[in-house]
């Protein structure tokens, strides 16, 4: 044994005092010697081969009678819900009664059952902890489910994994406690074999199993997100205050740790069937992604701080317009120093509306170069074939080769304007029309010219938002692969995306911390979890029998963005869109919005059973 089990005695030095044998088994005795020379003795059961059961762990205290005598009093429940019951004998002469703690524990076969982590014999008071009242799932399973979902595991696969663990608990009760439960003895675990689909592996239950994991997302993703969001906001607020103080003293100086965001949007195209005639049609929704830059001290021999990119926020919306981006900025809750994004008008308009001219905007040079190459490639006579590939002619390719950050900073705004003049002359000499090129120049030239001084003063800033595309590809696209057409509820999808952001922020590095977070929150409510399935979209009334029933999905409601803008920002533009759209649908803003992860919301989306009653 490495340390004394008494709280606050971690600094004690243990001395072995031999062993003794009782009716319970073999005990190893220890002496704990504190730095202040105080000492005490304790013993640990090392071989439980006797007939009397003892434990060094104390039973849980009675919530009604403090200081009472508490003993085990059998078990209750069936199946995977076989839990430990306790008996309380108050000291003031009140009659004895039985009770269970807010979060119950599975019964333990004392003397034979060991901890799967440390291989020590389990105490009768240290069985697997349940996640909440009236649920067969253990607390550790909830943490594992959230971890799997944060990596992009599907609802169905995760739900079938939960059922597998429930059946394993049933087999454990049968093998360790002799309980003859139906469907346990010799029953194989319902895991997916290599040649079976999820539906086949789940005994025909795969199609409806997804609700189990979706319920966990509704109940506990907001709880995890609340902790992660508080940490991010505290860090950014401190960074914002420090940067403002620095700029107040040295307005033209470099910021070593600026609040920097990289922005982009991801289009998601899905095919649905029209309710009126059953014909297929394509719909589009968007994921608006914010990646933040974490700054680290410079490496040895370097002057500039190092960059690390992490997901800061991901929001699904029916539209990717300026209103949607304003919702994103409003939820972030802090003013950035710099924003790196492509040249789309929606982001620029939202930045202007939210922050004015206080934020430095740096257009992505990578996207600008790619779009210029596409524009030039469509001109007659602008391309040639080399080694079977279609490439720009030398005169145009040479101009794009110098379109790099170092070249732009060396030449400055005057050289940047001259570069456009030379490119126009090269296109005219092909000969080819320059109308499309003039439109590109009108868009790119002033934005890049305004960003050059910012990049000159802050050479450590990125000049491209490629990190956003990398995060979308590696961390968000797993949520869309083979199941993007199944998403319909806006709020639940955004809760799911919150888990991806939480993983990027390191929240799932310690699953024990996730389990502790859930435990503390549910214990504060007497063991009750939040009611699941509270995010269902309100459906329209039934249609005619000969027509396909209409189905409402908040993810596809393009009028919803304006309703949320009015709800959160109170703008006139949002009010007009919301009123007209919701009146047309016959829905209210509260019932149709399914507000995605509203700032300041607490754990879960629905009430707990005690609150509902």
Q: Which of 158, 456, 468 is nearest to 312 (CA)?
A: 468
Residue where a domain terminates, one of 54, 69, 94: 54
Residue where a domain terminates, one of 415, 436, 457: 457
Q: Are 174 and 181 in contact (CB under 8 A)?
A: yes
Under DSSP, the state recorded for 434 is -
Domain assignment of residue 298, yes or no: no
Most confident range (mean pLDDT) of 106-115, 186-195, 503-512, 566-575 is 503-512
Mean pLDDT of the chain: 81
According to the model, what pLDDT value does residue 127 have? 63
Q: Are 253 and 246 in contact (CB under 8 A)?
A: yes
Average pLDDT score over residue span 363-368: 92
Tokens 């076989």 belong to which residue? 82
Reported pTM: 0.75
Using the predicted structure, report yes or no on whether residue 454 has a pLDDT greater than 60: yes
Range of the domain at 429: 365-457
Q: Which residues contact 509 (CB under 8 A, 6 or more apart)?
A: none
Domain assignment of residue 408, yes or no: yes
Domain assignment of residue 272, yes or no: no
Domain assignment of residue 132, yes or no: no
Q: Tell which wins on pLDDT, 551 or 444.
A: 444
Domain assignment of residue 445, yes or no: yes
Q: Are strands 306-317 and 383-386 parallel, antiparallel or unpaired?
A: unpaired
Buried/exposed code over 294-314 (b: 16+ C-beta within 10 A; e: otherwise): ebeeeeeeeeebeeebbbbbb
- For 51-196, list the strands marked E by DSSP: 69-76, 83-89, 97-99
Q: Where are the alpha helices (DSSP H) in 183-310?
A: 198-201, 206-249
Residue where a domain terminates, one of 425, 457, 489: 457
212-249 pLDDT per residue, tens: 999 999 999 999 999 999 999 999 999 999 999 999 99
Helix or strand (DSSP H, E) at 132: none
Among 27-31, 69-73, 605-609, the minimum mean pLDDT is found in 605-609
Rounded Cα distance, 82 and 611, in Å: 26
Q: Are 339 and 360 in contact (CB under 8 A)?
A: yes
Domain assignment of residue 129, yes or no: no
Q: Are 95 and 490 in contact (CB under 8 A)?
A: no
Average pLDDT score over residue span 96-121: 68
Under DSSP, the state recorded for 60 is P
Average pLDDT score over residue span 585-604: 40
**Does residue 542 have a cis bond before it (omega within 30 degrees)?**
no
Number of domains in the chain: 2
Q: Tell which wins on pLDDT, 368 or 208.
A: 368
39-87 pLDDT per residue, tens: 998 888 776 554 444 555 678 888 888 888 888 877 777 655 567 888 8
Domain assignment of residue 3, yes or no: yes
Please give the torsion angle defined by the CA atoms of residues 119, 124, 130 and 133, in that order, rounded to the nearest 10 degrees: 180
Tokens 């029309």 belong to which residue? 433
């Amino acid at each position: 044994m490495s340390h004394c089990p008494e709280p606050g005695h971690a600094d004690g030095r243990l001395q072995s005092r031999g062993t003794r044998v009782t009716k319970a088994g073999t005990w190893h005795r220890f002496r704990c010697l504190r730095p202040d020379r105080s000492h005490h003795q304790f013993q640990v059961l090392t071989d439980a081969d006797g007939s009397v059961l003892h434990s060094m762990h104390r039973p849980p205290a009675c919530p009604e009678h403090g200081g009472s005598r508490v003993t085990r009093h059998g078990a209750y429940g069936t199946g995977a819900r076989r839990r430990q019951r306790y008996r309380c004998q108050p000291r003031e002469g009140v009659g004895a009664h039985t009770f269970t703690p807010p979060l119950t524990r599975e019964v333990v076969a004392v003397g034979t059952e060991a901890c799967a982590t440390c291989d020590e014999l389990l105490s009768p008071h240290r069985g697997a902890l349940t996640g909440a009242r009236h649920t067969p799932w253990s607390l550790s399973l909830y943490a594992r489910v959230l971890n799997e979902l944060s990596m992009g595991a599907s609802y169905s696969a995760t739900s079938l994994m939960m059922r597998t663990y429930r059946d394993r608990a049933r087999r454990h009760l049968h093998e360790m406690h002799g309980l003859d439960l139906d469907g346990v003895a010799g029953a194989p675990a319902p895991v997916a074999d290599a040649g079976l689909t999820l539906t086949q592996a789940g005994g025909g239950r795969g199609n409806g199993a997804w609700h189990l994991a979706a319920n966990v997302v509704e109940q506990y993703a907001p709880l995890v997100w609340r902790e992660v969001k508080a940490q991010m906001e505290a860090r950014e607020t401190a960074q914002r205050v420090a940067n403002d103080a620095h700029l107040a003293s040295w307005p033209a100086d470099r910021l070593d740790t600026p609040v920097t965001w990289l922005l982009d949007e991801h289009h998601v195209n899905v095919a649905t069937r029209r309710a009126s005639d059953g014909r297929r049609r394509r719909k589009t929704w968007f994921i608006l992604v914010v990646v933040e830059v974490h700054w680290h001290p410079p490496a040895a021999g370097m002057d500039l701080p190092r960059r690390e990119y992490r997901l800061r926020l991901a929001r699904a919306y029916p539209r990717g317009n300026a209103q949607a981006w304003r919702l994103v900025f409003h939820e972030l809750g802090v003013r950035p120093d710099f924003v790196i994004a492509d040249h789309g008008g929606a982001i620029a308009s939202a930045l202007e509306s939210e922050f004015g001219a206080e934020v430095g905007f740096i257009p992505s040079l990578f996207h600008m170069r790619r779009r210029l190459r596409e524009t030039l490639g469509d001109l007659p006579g602008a391309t040639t074939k080399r080694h079977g590939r279609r490439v720009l002619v030398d005169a145009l390719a040479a101009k794009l080769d110098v379109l790099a950050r170092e070249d732009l900073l060396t030449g400055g705004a005057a050289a940047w304007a001259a570069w456009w003049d030379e490119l126009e002359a090269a296109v005219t000499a092909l000969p080819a029309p320059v109308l499309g090129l003039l439109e590109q120049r009108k868009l790119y030239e002033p934005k890049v010219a305004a960003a050059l001084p910012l990049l000159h003063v802050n050479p450590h800033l990125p000049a491209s938002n490629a990190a956003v595309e990398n995060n979308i590809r590696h961390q968000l696209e797993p949520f869309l692969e083979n199941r993007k057409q199944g998403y319909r509820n806006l709020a639940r999808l955004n809760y799911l995306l919150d888990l991806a952001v939480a993983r990027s922020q390191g929240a799932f590095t310690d699953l024990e911390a996730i389990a502790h977070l859930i435990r503390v929150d549910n214990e504060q409510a007497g063991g009750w979890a939040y009611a699941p399935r509270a995010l269902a979209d309100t459906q329209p009334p039934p249609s005619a029998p000969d027509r396909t029933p209409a189905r409402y999905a908040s993810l596809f409601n393009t009028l919803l963005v304006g309703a949320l803008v009015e709800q959160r920002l109170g703008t006139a533009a949002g009010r007009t869109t919301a009123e007209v759209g919701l009146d047309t649908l016959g829905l209210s803003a509260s019932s149709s919005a399914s507000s995605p992860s509203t700032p300041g919301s607490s754990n879960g989306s629905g009430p707990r059973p005690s609150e509902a009653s």
